[in-house]
Structure formats: C-alpha cells, structure tokens
Amino acid sequence: MGALEEARELLREFPVVDGHNDLPWALREQVRYDLDALDIAGDRSDRLHTDLPRLRAGGVGAQYWSVYVPAEQPDPVAATLEQIDCVRRMLERYPADLAPARSAADLETARAEGRIASLMGAEGGHSIANSMGTLRALYALGVRYMTLTHNSNVDWADSATDEPRAGGLTAFGREVVREMNRLGMLVDLSHVAATTMRDALDASTAPVIFSHSSARAVCDHPRNIPDDVLERLPANGGMAMVTFVPKFVLQAAVDWTAAADENLRAHGLHHLDTSPEAMRLHRAFEERHPRPVATVSVVADHLDHMREVAGIDHLGIGGDYDGTAFTPDGLDDVSGYPNLLAELLDRGWSRTDLAKLTWRNAVRVLGAAEDVARGLQAGRGPSLATIEELDGTPGGS
Amino acid sequence: MADLQDDIPRTTEVGEDDGLPDDPFHLPPDVPAGDVPAGDLPSGDVPAGDPLERARALLAGHPVADGYSGLPWALRHLPGHDLQLGEAAVDTDLPRMRAGHVGALFWSLHLPEGPAGERPVAATLEQLDLARSVVEAHPEGLRLVRTAGQVIDARNRGRVAVLLGPAHGAALDGSLAVLRVLHALGVRVLTLAGTTWAGDSGLSRFGEEVVREMNRLGVLADVTGAGPATVRRTLALSKTPVLCTRSAARALRPHPANLSDDLLAALGGAKGLCMVPLTAEQTGPAVPDVADHLDHIRDVAGPECVGLSGTYDSGVVHPRELADASRYPHLIAELLRRGWSETELSLLTWGNVQRVLRGADFASRAAQHRREAPTPRITDLDAL
C-alpha cells in the first residue's frame, strides 16, 4: 500500500482536528455572510481554501472555526457575535456534514456519526473588551478557545508582533487565564509574545494550546514557538498545532515577506495594505523577486522538531486556511492533509503516532480542560475582577 | 389566542425537565403541593370576606408575572448577596416574592446609563452573564426560562420563572446577527425606543427588519417610551403580541412613557399588553392611583391587554404600600374592592403574560418555515 493510500485509510479512522480555519471571516469579506451566494456544499476552490467536499477529501473530522475579527473594528464584541452567528447559521444549513460540538464527548459523537465536529475559537483578547462577563457569554455560545492576542497587544497581554508593553501577562491577564480555566475554555498561545506564553503556562492549571504555530528553532519567526516553551508542554499537558503558513514556516519566505513589506513601506504604504495600489506594487515586486514556495516537507521538518522537543503527545495541526493568502505546495487547501500524513509515514511515523497527531491529542486536551473546569467550579464562582481593579487604567503607563 | 391563556397543566402532566427534585417546601405555604388550581377558580374556592385574604387565595392560583425587574443591576455591586434567605438591600428576594405571590419575572438587561452608553454590546452581555449567574446561584428558588411552557414548568416545581429582558435595542449595534446571538443566550424582550431605527418618525427599514426577525426568533417587542409612529407601525407589523413593559395611562398622568387613550385602544385592538409600572412618577403615590390606571387601561384596551410591572430595584420611587415585591396582595385587594372579577384578575396577574409568551412561540415556529435568517446590517438598509 502506498503511503498516500495508507494516510487516507488512517484518516478515515482518526480524522484531523484542525485548530484554526478562517472561513467565517472569508464569508464576511466576500459575501457579507450570504451563505446562498457562496455555498460551501459545492466546489469553491476558485474563491476559498475550504468547502465541504474538500474537507471530506482532506479527512477533516473536527474544525475549530475561527470567529476572528480585527482589533481595529469599531466594536469588536459585536463583530465577534456576528462571526458566531455565521458559524451557527452554517451549522443549521449543513446539518448532514457539520455537527455542533462543545466538548470532547461531542467530538467522539461526531466522529462516530461521520460528521465534522464544529467548534469555535476566538482569535484575540480584544473580542472580550476587558470584560469577564463577555468572556463567559462567548463560552456560553460555544467558544472553546481564545487566543490571548492577535497581531497587536491587548491591554493585558503582549503580542508576538507588537512592541513589548506588559512584559507578558498583567495581573488582569492572569485572571483571564484563571477564568478560562474555570470555564473550560482553552487558552490559545498562538500569536502571543514568548513572555506571554511563559506567563500563561505559569498561570494556567489546564492544558494550553497553540491553535496555529510552528517551531521557532526551524524557522525564526515571532509567530513560532521557542524550544523552551515547547519543552514545557509535557508537564502542562497541552499541545502545539503546527501551521502551514509559508511566511512563518520557511526561512526564505520569511525573508521574502520582509523584503516585500519593506518595498511597500518604501512607497509610503503600510505593509498590510491591500488597496489596488498596494496590490499592484506587490505584484510588480513578485515579478522581480519570485516568491519562495514552501512544501509538505518543510512542514514535516517542523513536526519532526516539535516532536523531538515536546513529544508525540503534544502535537496537532492548525492549517490557518482562508486566513492566509499563500499555502505550501501539496497543502494548497483543506484537502491536502493526506499529503502531510503520507510524508510523515515515509519518515517513519507510526500509525499510532499519526492518530495522536490528527485526533487523539486534541480530544484529550479538550477533555482535560473540562475536567479542570469541573474541579475549579466546585471551589470558586465566576470572576468579578475588572481590569481597573487589577491593572489600574487600561492602556495607561 | 385567548382560549390558550389559562391552560395551566397540573403537576402530573408536566414531565421531568432537568432532574431537579420537586421541592414542596418552596411552594407558597398556603398552597399544598400538587394542588395548584387549574383554570379559572370556581367562586367557591375563594373565601368571601376580607379582600386581602381573597387576594392571597386568588394569587395562589394565578401568581404575578412581573414585567420589569431591575434586580440584576442592583445585585451587581452587592457581593455576598443571598436572595434565598432574604436580602434587605434590595426590594426583591425569595421570601418577599413568595409573600407577594410572584411566579415569574422579566429581568431587565437595560443599562443605567441608558441606550446611548459606550460599548452597549459588551455591557449587555455582562448584564446577561450576571443574571445567569444569579439564577444559577439560587437553584432552589429561581429558574431561567425561555418559553411559556418552561414558565409553567418552573411554577409547578415551585420556582420563580426568570425571563431575560428587556434589553435595549442599542445592544444590537445595528446588526441582526447580534439579535440572534442575544436570543440564543436567552433574551426574550427587546426595547425599541432610544435607537436610530425606531425614532420619532417610526420604524426605519432596518427597524422593520428587526421586528420581523424578532418575530421569527420569538423575541417580544417592548414599545414603552417609543413615539406614537413607532408604536403604531410595530403593532401593524408584528405577528407577535407587542408589549409595553412600563406604561400607564397618559389620560390620568402625563408621563412621556404613558400611553394615550388612542394608543391604548390600538394596543387592545392588536391584543398587545400594557404592563403598568408601580412607580409614583408614572401612576401616582398611592395604591388607589395605581388601581385607577389599571381600571382605565382595562376599560380602554380590554382586560386581556393589561398587566403588572413591579419595576422593583430599578431606582424608582414606588407608591406607598407597594414598596417591595411582597406587596402585590394589597394591590389585588384594592381591585377586588373595585369589583374586578376573578377572571379579570387572573388575566391581569398571570394569564395575559402567558398568552403573549405563547403567541411569541407560535409566531416564531410559523415564521421559521417561511423566512431564513436575514443578514443585512443597519448600514445596508438605512441611510445614515
């Protein structure tokens, strides 16, 4: 049996739990949530990385749908609720393929039914507007992880891609982590500064996750995880879900992106600008400097390293599909996961190892967070802390 | 739907809902467990004589469904509160709700700073979270409910049913998706006044879409404080009975939130519900003043269209003798003295709210077959 065939067979038994997919934001941007206008029941490879046929082809059995909103939204809480509404409407619309899931038990039920368990993750502490009540409301709506920051700092935690301010987590930030532990919402450390990762590991009594991050030792980018943090995952019980985004996983792509950003800035534009003028400059740059292409093998290199440092019980997959413009060759869209498994089989990963990578670790981690929450709820009630009480005036000093 | 207003099932007809044991100790002491009267009381069941005794007997069968309570906000800065044993710092706790025969409460999610406050969405979610945690902390006394059937179920289990709302329309931030999420979190009443889409000129296009989506979900529209054009358009548009959660009669007292006679008649024609607030400002300083409003609204809108709003713990001054949630029997006694029939009283305290909640459930089920969730934001429909 060829490796690819074996990978597919394996995925039928232990499908992928993917940590991060930005389809809801893509539906907002492309069709303003009009699910008729971009029906994912059919092939949408012209406009999206994700649709139901390709999720099936890719062997996806559970998806954390990201309810990401940019921190610059006028009201990020309202926008986050709109994202949650989008996921709820997707679940109502495609009941044969998508199963609402809030727990480890729901994941196993969905696997037994052959449906894709659908969970939600909020990407960035700005989605709770410094409000514990809002955090609990998100939990009540089914959100099962929150990434502590996105690309910018929040008042209580530093981001990997912003100037250090809090030096990790503030007192209120630690209280947010404690409250997430009490609720059973996973603490997601993708996007956060290494100082925040360490502070959160100190504060959390439940397993943490990295919903879409790779290894900094393999590719030195702030979005990736340093070895000293990976080393702490066995004691914590959590997991790092490897991401495929070329500009984080391939050094040549990191360098190329930095040069492309510099090119935009040299023309007086912000490096994340997507105006027609910016896109024209970008295309011109790309013609002069061909974009380096990542491959399945590059991602497997990250996994080999992460396995060495964190151990096989602490790995997972978070593709970031529809949240990134470029994808590696062979992992072009959500149908590509079998190619990654085939590569790992060729590198000598056992079937048991792969079942942990795709399914078992993620189910174990969510279940462990639920256990911790049950224990904590017996001992303490909802946190009533405010950021003013714990940190003084937000944004000050 | 008047034929549905009073079909309180007996305890034995109600299935298990969540495994909590029935607790007869928390039924009102004068009602033996399992002997909750169904339907209109035969006149023989209510002792003749002392109106207060008669009021209590009547309320035992038809408790008060109170249209507006500010309790969640009042408890916000009251750590360590205990509603079960009694809490002197607020007007509403379980001993006094038992004494006042309160069977159901709408818990306001309004924000003290009004609808124009900053970050209305997060602030409303905080209110909602607080309300849910207060209910969770009092499982012997309170039960969070979402439908008319669950109200009955809570009552048969000796719990006070808590319905979430009204919330401010501003909490939607101009988004129907936010409305759907608030509904998913349990919100059942939304106040339209104070928004750009329900102003003096009536409902905007987005405002109409909000009302239609509320109908589809089963969220009741509260038009207290809205201008006459908005009230009339909402009455015409809504497939679900419309509420005024805190309105008395303008003919008796010229308060901006009180309803003129022609609006009361329109509300009655549409089988809405005017819930009279027990506030000195809107109804007058004494029990007979409140009774005058109730008389008037019954006469103008009809006995199926009048209800009660305690407005306790919402920072208002109450009429004398109606200072807290235990005082409803005094008001009902006054109405008995004025010749209100037992049927009228049972509608006033309980039956009308049940009818409205059932109407919302029915309209929602019917609409979901016909309409899909609409997605526009306010900026798509209203020129700003």
pLDDT tens per residue across span B125-136? 999 999 999 999
Number of helices and strands in chain A (H, E):
18, 9
Tell me the per-residue pLDDT of B165-179, one tens digit each, with 9 for 90 and over.
999 999 999 999 999
The verdict on residue B114 lying in a domain is: yes
What local confidence, expressed as pLDDT, does residue A197 receive? Answer: 98
Displacement of CA A184 from its chain's centroid (Å): 17
For residue B246, what are the domain limits? Answer: 110-128+165-369
Q: Which residue's entry shows tokens 């944004």? A: A395
The verdict on residue A274 lying in a domain is: no
Whether the Cβ atoms of residue B349 and residue B62 lie closer than 8 Å to each other: yes
Dihedral over Cα of B51, B52, B58, B62: its sign? positive
Find the CB nearest B181 among A84, A133, A381.
A84
Q: Is A22 a catalytic residue?
A: yes
| Helix/strand/coil for B246 | coil
What is the count of structural domains for chain A?
1
Question: Is residue B368 very low, low, confident or very high in pLDDT (cuts 50, 70, 90)?
Answer: confident
The verdict on residue B280 lying in a domain is: yes
Tell me the per-residue pLDDT of B197-230, one tens digit each, with 9 for 90 and over.
999 999 999 999 999 999 999 999 999 999 999 9
Q: Is A20 a catalytic residue?
A: yes
Tell me the per-residue pLDDT of B254-291, one tens digit each, with 9 for 90 and over.
999 999 999 999 999 999 999 999 999 999 999 999 99
Whether the Cβ atoms of residue A22 and residue A321 lie closer than 8 Å to each other: yes
| Helix/strand/coil for A277 | helix
Decide if pLDDT at B16 tops 70: no
- This model of the complex carries an ipTM of 0.93
Phi-psi region of A60 (alpha: psi -120 to 50; beta: other; left: phi over 0): beta
What local confidence, expressed as pLDDT, does residue B384 receive? Answer: 59
C-alpha–C-alpha distance, residues B39 and B62, integer Å:
9
The verdict on residue B308 lying in a domain is: yes
| Helix/strand/coil for A281 | helix
Decide if pLDDT at A222 tops 80: yes
DSSP letters, A291-354, are: PP--BHHHHHHHHHHHHHHH-GGGEEE---BTS-S---BT-SSTT-HHHHHHHHHHTT--HHHH
Find the CB nearest B375 among A33, A136, A381.
A33
Whether the Cβ atoms of residue B224 and residue B246 lie closer than 8 Å to each other: yes
Dihedral over Cα of B127, B133, B135, B138: its sign? negative
Mean pLDDT of chain B: 89
| Interchain pair B375, A141: CB under 8 A | no
Mean pLDDT of B69-90: 91
Q: Which residue's entry shows tokens 């891609």? A: A161
| Interchain pair B122, A134: CB under 8 A | yes
For chain A, say whether B368 makes contact (Cβ under 8 Å).
no
- Report the CATH number that the domain containing residue B219 is assigned in CATH: 3.20.20.140
Q: Which residue's entry shows tokens 């044993």? A: B85
| Interchain pair A85, B130: CB under 8 A | no
What is the count of structural domains for chain B?
1
Torsions phi, psi of B134, nearest 5? -65, -45
Find the CB nearest B133 among A82, A85, A382.
A382
Nearest to A14 by CA among A353, A384, A383: A353
Q: Which of residues 95-154 of A touch B (CB under 8 A)?
A: 128-129, 131-134, 136-137, 140-141
The verdict on residue A268 lying in a domain is: no
C-alpha–C-alpha distance, residues B127 and A342, integer Å:
51
C-alpha–C-alpha distance, residues A240 and B283, integer Å:
63
The torsion defined by the Cα of B189, B195, B197 and B199, in degrees rounded to 10, comes to 110
C-alpha–C-alpha distance, residues A65 and A72, integer Å:
21
The pTM of the full predicted model, rounded to 2 decimals, is 0.91
Torsions phi, psi of A147, nearest 5? -75, 130
The verdict on residue A218 lying in a domain is: yes
Half-sphere exposure of B107 (CA within 13 A, CB side): 28
Task: Give the count of beta carbons closer than 10 Å to the beta carbon of residue A189.
Answer: 30
Q: Is A289 a catalytic residue?
A: no
Whether the Cβ atoms of residue A336 and residue A58 lie closer than 8 Å to each other: yes
Nearest to A329 by CA among A254, A261, A272, A249: A249
C-alpha–C-alpha distance, residues B143 and B162, integer Å:
6
Q: Which residue's entry shows tokens 């309320």? A: B59
What local confidence, expressed as pLDDT, does residue A394 receive? Answer: 57
Catalytic residue among A51, A179, A320, A391: A320
What local confidence, expressed as pLDDT, does residue B46 receive? Answer: 52
C-alpha–C-alpha distance, residues A228 and A211, integer Å:
18
| Interchain pair B122, A129: CB under 8 A | yes
The verdict on residue B105 lying in a domain is: no
Amino acid (one-letter) located at A375: G
For residue A327, what are the domain limits? Answer: 3-250+292-380
- Report the CATH number that the domain containing residue A341 is assigned in CATH: 3.20.20.140
More confident residue, A2 or B369: A2
Six-digit token pair at A202? Answer: 């100190």
The verdict on residue B377 lying in a domain is: no
Q: How many residues does chain A have?
A: 397
A76-93 and B120-137 helices cross at what angle (nearest 10)?
A: 70
Whether the Cβ atoms of residue A114 and residue A55 lie closer than 8 Å to each other: no
Report the largest interatomic distance among the alpha carbons of chain B, rounded to a whole angstrom: 63
Burial class (CB in 10 A: 0-12, 13-18, 19+), A275: exposed
Mean pLDDT of B319-344: 97
Tell me the per-residue pLDDT of A299-353, one tens digit each, with 9 for 90 and over.
999 999 999 999 999 999 999 999 999 999 999 999 999 999 999 999 999 999 9
Tell me the per-residue pLDDT of A240-257, one tens digit each, with 9 for 90 and over.
999 999 999 999 999 999
The verdict on residue B33 lying in a domain is: no
The three-point CA angle B231-B236-B238 to 5° equals: 90
For chain B, say whether A86 makes contact (Cβ under 8 Å).
yes
What local confidence, expressed as pLDDT, does residue A397 receive? Answer: 42
Distances, alpha carbon A86 to alpha carbons A80, A133, B105, in Å: 10, 22, 32
The verdict on residue B83 lying in a domain is: no
| Interchain pair B126, A133: CB under 8 A | yes
| Helix/strand/coil for A20 | strand
Question: Is residue B77 very low, low, confident or very high in pLDDT (cuts 50, 70, 90)?
Answer: confident
Catalytic residue among A49, A126, A212, A302: A212
Q: How close B167 comes to chain A (CA, Å)?
A: 15
Amino acid (one-letter) located at B15: G
Q: Is A179 a catalytic residue?
A: no
Q: Which of residues 177-196 of B touch A (CB under 8 A)?
A: 177-178, 180-181, 184-185
The verdict on residue A283 lying in a domain is: no
Decide if pLDDT at B18 tops 70: no
Q: Which of residues 11-70 of B touch A (CB under 8 A)?
A: none
Flag the least confident range among A291-295, B11-15, B301-305, B312-316: B11-15
Mutating which of A82, A84, A93 best tests the B interface, going by the most B Cβ atoms within 10 A?
Answer: A82
| Interchain pair B177, A86: CB under 8 A | yes
Segment holding B143, helix H or strand E = strand B142-144
Rounded to a whole number of angstroms, the distance between the first and last alpha carbons of chain B is 40
Pair type for strands B220-222 and B202-203:
unpaired
What local confidence, expressed as pLDDT, does residue B375 receive? Answer: 84
The verdict on residue A130 lying in a domain is: yes
Six-digit token pair at A239? Answer: 């997991």
C-alpha–C-alpha distance, residues A34 and A32, integer Å:
6
Amino acid (one-letter) located at B364: S
C-alpha–C-alpha distance, residues B207 and B213, integer Å:
10
The verdict on residue B12 lying in a domain is: no
Whether the Cβ atoms of residue A256 and residue A291 lie closer than 8 Å to each other: yes
DSSP letters, A50-68, are: --HHHHHHTTEEEEEEE--
